[in-house]
Structure 1
Amino acid sequence: MRRTPLAAGAATLGLLAATPATADVLVPVESERLSDAVPVPTFEADASWPRLPEDMILGQSPGLAVDRDDNIWVLTRPNSLGFTDTGLDSGISSACCAAPPHVLQFDQEGNLLRSWGGTDLAPGDGVVEGQGPDATETGDEQWPANVHGLYVDENMNVWIGGNGNGDHVVLQFTADGEYLRQIGTRQQTDGNMSEEFLGNPADISVNGDSVLVADGYINKRIAEFGLENLGFQHLWGAYGADPDGGTREGNFDQSQAASTGDGGPNPESTAFGDIVHCVVRGPEDTIYVCDRRNNRLQVFRETDGGVEFLEDVVIALETGGTRTASDVAFSPDGTYVYVADMMNGRVWILLRETHEILGHFGKNGRYPGQFIWLHSVDVDSQGNVYTTEVNTGRRVQRFVLTGFEE
């Protein structure tokens, strides 16, 4: 296949005519083209990005957002690091490393601009006894025990969710970490039809009118709240109907993310699976929902009366384990859809107009351009793709748009 340099390919497709971002080390990535319908974007991994402080090590990174100024925000879990990871904090190492704050903002060169997070920033206080799924908490602390999902809106406010024990809340902060308000209350949940409480929200999407929440680790729904006062507006399940399929019994445990207790993916299910993992607003008033355990995206259109279901987009149907559709992002001009596939360790490239799968890049592995528990994906205004990983992945990667395969 003929490869077109970025400037020419971008002009052909009406994308931003930008040169690749400066990178010290670009590494080829494994990729495959599956369709000749249109030119397919090509990428290389920037092995020099980000430039972390010398004493910092990342934990699991379950949230990612590119803001209006093309800065990159990463949500990380310092509590996922062990004592040997953070020997500098515990005093057992004189060299490295220290746990990061939960929220990190990087510029295009990968320099750390801001960092904050933790229980001191949110209302309330609490005491946790025990570990993992057996942990119990008393008090009214509102900072999530296990952060999950990050969104930065046009006003540079930062929204964070959580999927740990009792984390039934979405919090809003300023860019500098000042608490503003919240949806839901930790330790309180009341099922799929609740207009007040959430059930382990996974993801957030905000525009000038409303806040969409993928309320998806305990509940199985999308919930919408007015941006002005965070009042309840709307909720829906699969195909835009009332959410059914029940709720998760007990607290979510990460081992459940790879279980086969649900019988495997069912892309024809009338209910969302037990992890509604993303909600992303796309071009032309569309909303993409990641029904991860059913290996599908459900695409809706926002209307004056609510939402209209458009179509199912199935991603690697035969896949088991942690399944596929984990997150969604779009090229700057809306031509392409990028879908993060957790189990297969790849980013799928779809033509947005038809949702035809054009190809993919990446593979499972621990080297640049490879993934372990690929979790989140986003795109900057130059078309560069960013990803984060959880479990033992624990990193953020940047993929520089280098051209188009004709």
Structure 2
Amino acid sequence: MNINRSTLIIALVAVLALAALFVGQNRMEQAPQAANSDQLVPHFEVDPFWPQPLPNQWLLGRTIGVAVDARDHVFIVHRDSPDMFMSQELGLDRGVASCCTAAPPILEFDPDGNLVNGWGGPVEGGEYEWPASNHGIEVAANGDVWIGGNGSTDSHILVFTRDGDYIRTIGEPGNLPDSNSTTHFSRVAEIAIDAANNEAWIADGYGNRRVVVLDATTGEFKNFWGAYGNQPDDDANNTYIPGEPLPQQFRPPVHCAEPSADELIYVCDRGADRIQVFQRDGTFVKEGLVAPATLSGSTWDISFSHDPEQEFIYLADGSNMLVHVLERESLEVLYTFGDGGRQPGLFFGTHSIVTDSAGDVYTTETYEGKRVQKFVHRGLVPLGDIRPGAPWPASEIH
């Protein structure tokens, strides 16, 4: 059989292309193994019975925020509008079946998963303008509940008591993006309150391209900045192409801004698959990429481990349906848990994440995931002993 030179070259190029694709996918889907397999890392098991079943034939919609208060009560925010559900789900509302109806948008659970309270939503002629699309929740040290919104003209933050009584609005509702405004936001993704410094950190957001810091008492704008500490520029090219130089502006959504105990600020630049770290004055410190071949964004939300050094970061990745466990100092991914699916410990649209005082982790899921899950901290184990996938007890894996 005669094979000419050009045919051989074409075949070789095809083989190399397939090999490159395989390597790229491998790098995206598997956690790095550069860390020492003897390194001790936190180990989790999903609690399939948390929370307890909801009363009143209530259902959750897209669940897009989670927070823990000083009592280890867990607060979630979900989208309860009818367009978040299939018509068959709301049979009670439609008068065609005994089940079901949407739960109130803010739900509070005690540490055992019992529902404590539910409230929120628009009030006709009320004092406040409820977001068109709820997004993000935080509980301050005094128990006040802060929520944002990422509807097209959601440009404000609402503050309530833990029981749902309205306190105030921060920012002017109804505005379009302006990443240099000091009077409004644009589609806030997440809020984090630093009680020690009386500051609220705002991931701003889906419309704007910045981090904002507020006085937590007055709501006054104190500072804001974009990627690398740059002045935000809404018109700058922020295209993200894996393997190419990283954009000099955030690529919305800017999805988290989380202060650490050592007074650094960790920012989720979801659209560019990266975490950027800053000093509190906006001075850039470092950045790390997570699953950098993810074209739909990998860095959705973070929480820190509950040890004095906050040695680890837990990162929710709703595109790859995982939680990544990172070493905070190096921003290196040590391992992942979860995978795509509907069973306990698996995910569909891993959206938000938080850690309680026991070190247990809670996640929420958007899209059709529509739930909150609890992962119990089972102590530290050697990295080499970690099994990927659903974090079930070893005795239950066949």
Structure 2 match to 1:336: 312
Matches within 5 A, 1:240-255: 240-246=229-235
2:208 is aligned to 219
> 1:85 aligns to what?
89
Structure 1 unmatched runs, 5+:
1-30, 125-140, 249-260
Q: Within 5 Å, which residues of 2 pair with 1:13-28? A: none
Question: Following the alignment from structure 1 to structure 2, what is the Cα–Cα distance between the partners of residues 379 and 225?
Answer: 23
In the alignment, structure 1 residue 399 sits paired with structure 2 residue 375: yes
Task: Give the alignment partner of residue 271 of structure 1, picking from 222, 245, 249.
Answer: 249
Aligned twin of 2:390: none
Q: Secondary structure at the match of 1:325?
A: coil
What amino acid maps onto 1:57 in structure 2? L
Work out the CA distance in 2 between the residues paired with 1:263 and 1:166. 25
Aligned-CA RMSD value: 2.2
In structure 2, relative to structure 1, the CA distance for the partners of 1:122 and 1:217 (3 Å cut) is farther
Q: Percent identity?
A: 38
Q: CA deviation at 1:367?
A: 1.2
SS of equivalent to 1:87: helix
Query: What residue is the counterpart of 1:369 in the other structure?
Result: 345
Partner of 2:10: none
Query: 1:165-212 deviations in whole A, cap 9, x for unaligned?
Result: 311111111101111112112212351111101111111112232222
Aligned partners of 2:201 and 2:327: how far apart in 1?
Answer: 24
CA distance in 2, matches of 1:199, 1:274: 11
Moved more, 180-189 or 160-169: 180-189
Contact in 1 for aligned 2:224/2:282 (Cα 8 Å): no
Equivalent residues of 2:68, 2:354 under 8 A apart: yes
Answer whether contact 2:226 2:232 (CA < 8 A) is retained: yes
The CA distance in 2 between the partners of 1:107 and 1:267, in whole Å, is 46
The count of corresponding residues between Structure 1 and Structure 2 is 344
- Considering fraction of residues, name the structure with more strand: 1
Instruction: List per-residue Cα deviations over 1:267-303 (Å, max 9, x = no partner).
Output: 721100021111111120011111001000111121x
TM-score, normalised with respect to structure 1: 0.80
Q: Distance in 1 between matches of 2:125 and 2:53?
A: 26
Q: Which amino acid letter does the alignment assign opposite residue 165 of structure 1? A: S
Alignment of 1:138-217 (within 5 A): 142-189=129-176, 191-208=178-195, 209-217=198-206
- The verdict on how the C-alpha distance between 1:245 and 1:102 changes in structure 2, with shifts beyond 3 A counting, is same
Structure number having the greater helix percentage: 2
SS for the counterpart of 2:228 is helix
Determine which structure has greater relative contact order: mean sequence separation of CA pairs < 8 Å that are 6+ residues apart, divided by chain length. 1
Instruction: Give, in whole Å, the separation in 2 of the partners of 1:234 and 1:217.
Output: 19
Query: Is 1:284 equivalent to 2:262 in the alignment?
Result: yes
Q: Over residues 300-335 of structure 1, what are the superposed CA-to-partner deviations in whole Å (9 max), with x where a residue is unaligned?
A: 121xxx2221111110111123x2000000111112
CA contact (8 A) 2:31 2:333 kept: no
Map Cα deviations across residues 244-287 of structure 1 (whole Å, 9 max, x no partner).
24399xxxxxxxxxxxx955456721100021111111120011
- Normalising by structure 2, report the TM-score: 0.82
Q: Structure 1 33/272 Cα, relative in aligned 2: closer, same or farther at 3 Å?
A: closer
Counterpart secondary structure, 1:85:
helix
Q: Does 1:310 align with 2:285?
A: yes
Deviation for aligned residue 1:122: 8.7
CA distance in 1, matches of 2:132, 2:276: 29
